[in-house]
Amino acid sequence: MHAVITLLKPRIWPLKNRGVPKNLHGRAAKLILLGTVGVVFWGGIFAISWRVLDYFKGIEDIGDILGFKLLSMILIISFALLIFSSILTSLSKLYLSRDLFLVHSMPVASYKIFLARWIDSTIDSSWMVIIFTLPVFIAFGIIFQTGGFFYANMLVTLVSLAINASAISTLLVMIAVIVIPATRMKSIFIFMGILFFVVMYLAIRLLRPELLVDPEVFDTVLVYITSLQTPSSPFLPSTWAYDSIRATLTGSMSGGIFHNALSWSFAGTIVFIMIKVADTVYFKGFSKTQTSGARVFKKGNTADRIFNFLPGPIKSFTVKEIKAFLRDQTQWSQLFLIAALVVIYVYNFKVLPLEKSPIKTIYLQNLFSFLNMGLALFVLTAVTARFAYPAVSQERNAFWLVKTAPISLKTFLWVKFFIYYFPLLILTEILIVATNILLQVTPFMMALSTITVFFLVPGIVSIGIGLGAAYPDFKAENPNQTVTSFGGLVFMIVCAGYIGLVILIEAGPVYNLFMADIRGKALSLATWAWIIGAFAVAFVFSLLAIALPMYFGEKRLAKLLF
């Protein structure tokens, strides 16, 4: 165990090495901003959970059942998130980290290296899920008026859930690395992507959330209640966690302990099996991954030919950017994640029981379409954060090439912009058009949302590239994670503000236009002037959103000492 602890020290010691930063005020401001956003987010989750549970509690007969159904959903989703997060983290920590070469040359058994890495990976992949589900469980505790035992038991249960998810994922990763030929690391990522897709699909199908709001599909109330009470699979670790938390919510301490013990006994068993497997195959897998990946597209001249019309330096950066992106194995899993996200997003619109609503359907459909614009743009923001924001930091140590190349920083940034702009525009338009078709919106709403999105996408991509250039991190172990830094937070806030502002400016005029269309009435001249003015303001905002962040990023990047 001594070796395992020693191997974890490079992770622990840097915490005390931070010392007094040079820019104390800047750091304090960042901490305050990050802390405030974290607390607001955490508090928001708590407030919403408390409000929903309080409402459920007030419903006679089935209030508790609804609450428990919600609990079950949260635990299944948390488990799915933990599984996916652990797959990516363990793959990186066990096989791709840059310090593995050093660690494996040390006189330590490979299973001990594995164990230290696994502990590190489990903490990294689960802390955020646990921290941000805590307010939900605390709300449960308050609404169900439980004692201190509930909170203690809940914490212990969540830890066992995280360990179970991490051990299952790590076992899968180890098997995948061994089974799939070593020269095909990309295949492993594709395998993981498909696996995540299946897990998410199963999790959502197990829940069937649309039925919760649509009791009419059931013949009787009794069938509805029975459906709500249907337990999840007894073989899922999230079910044991659910049974334990539910037992303590209803005051059954022994039930809570029993199901918790069940979860921990599985954790103990699977960790034991995992270490045994690691002892046999981990080093073999690590040794295999040191071979370079086989290229899927061996003749990579297509990009060269396509961009032949561009001037030399611009063409070279464009081609390099595209090739580097396609050959970066870590991007592949993210592409699958996005595909899964799009399918789930569109699927949610398909199952919306709009016709059951007491509000007039055509009104509701178009209201949803309008709100959907904002929602799709938030999805775009998340995707931009993952791909466009880290684009400058991705240059890493090779940034000196940019600095010394016969190309201005401005051009360099605009190359980055266009690389990400076109795919992201297509993605967002697909989201908007597909969901609008499912919602059967009016042609006016279809035109409005596609045009609005067309003008907002370049703004968001520009904020991503611009702020990514303003706050680059060329030394990041994984540049994709730079979005969790201060600059990434600023990007999120600016994007949210920009989207919210444009939606707000357009809301009034769109409502007037839409209602006039439905009622077949003409609009007054003053209303037309207001509508045109509002759209013009939104347009100007969009132009500013494109120009200003790129300018800001360029200026900051130029001042950077590299």
Partner 1 sequence: MIQLENITKKYANFVAVDRLNLSVDKGEIFGFIGPNGAGKTTTMKMLGGVLEPTSGAVTIAGVNMQEQPEVAKRKIGFIPDRPYLYEKLTGMEFLKFTADLYGVGQNGFHKKAAKHLEMFSLADWSEELIESYSHGMKQRLIMAAALLHDPEVIIVDEPMVGLDPAAIIMVKALFKQLAQKGAAIFMSTHTLKVAEDTCDRIGIINKGKLIASGTTSDLQREANVSSADLEQVFLNLTNSTSLE
Binding footprint of partner 1 on the chain (CB under 8 A):
2-3, 6-7, 9-10, 13-14, 17, 98-99, 101-102, 104-110, 181-183, 283-284, 287, 290-292, 294, 475
The alpha carbon dihedral of 121, 127, 129, 130 has a sign of: positive
d(CA 123, CA 115): 12
d(CA 372, CA 343): 15
Amino acid sitting at position 478: N
Min dist CB 180 to partner 1, Å, is 13
Min dist CB 182 to partner 1, Å, is 8
Nearest Cα to 340, choosing from 382, 368, 293, 377? 382
For partner 1, the closer CB: 7 or 546: 7
Amino acid sitting at position 400: W
Contact 452, 541 (CB under 8 A): no
For partner 1, the closer CB: 52 or 100: 100
Min dist CB 5 to partner 1, Å, is 9
Burial class of 62 by CB neighbour count within 10 A (0 to 12, 13 to 18, 19+): middle
For partner 1, the closer CB: 8 or 310: 8
Min dist CB 114 to partner 1, Å, is 13
Min dist CB 22 to partner 1, Å, is 13
The b/e string for 217-234 (b: 16+ C-beta within 10 A; e otherwise) is eeeeeeebeeebeeebee
For partner 1, the closer CB: 255 or 293: 293
Min dist CB 451 to partner 1, Å, is 48
For partner 1, the closer CB: 3 or 206: 3
Min dist CB 472 to partner 1, Å, is 16
Nearest Cα to 376, choosing from 263, 502, 291, 462? 502
For partner 1, the closer CB: 104 or 555: 104
Phi-psi region of 145 (alpha: psi -120 to 50; beta: other; left: phi over 0): left
For partner 1, the closer CB: 18 or 360: 18
Query: Which are the contacts of 317, defined by CB distance < 8 A and separation ≥ 6?
Result: 402, 405, 407, 412, 415
The H or E element spanning position 121 is helix 110-143
Query: What phi, psi does 466 have (nearest 5°)?
Result: -60, -50
Give start and end residues of each alpha helix (H) in 208-252.
209-212, 221-229, 237-249
Contact 74, 133 (CB under 8 A): yes
For partner 1, the closer CB: 25 or 475: 475
d(CA 218, CA 230): 14
Min dist CB 110 to partner 1, Å, is 7
Min dist CB 298 to partner 1, Å, is 14
The H or E element spanning position 257 is helix 253-289
For partner 1, the closer CB: 284 or 403: 284
Q: What residue ranges in 182-280 does DSSP mark as E strands?
A: none
Min dist CB 475 to partner 1, Å, is 7
For partner 1, the closer CB: 305 or 475: 475
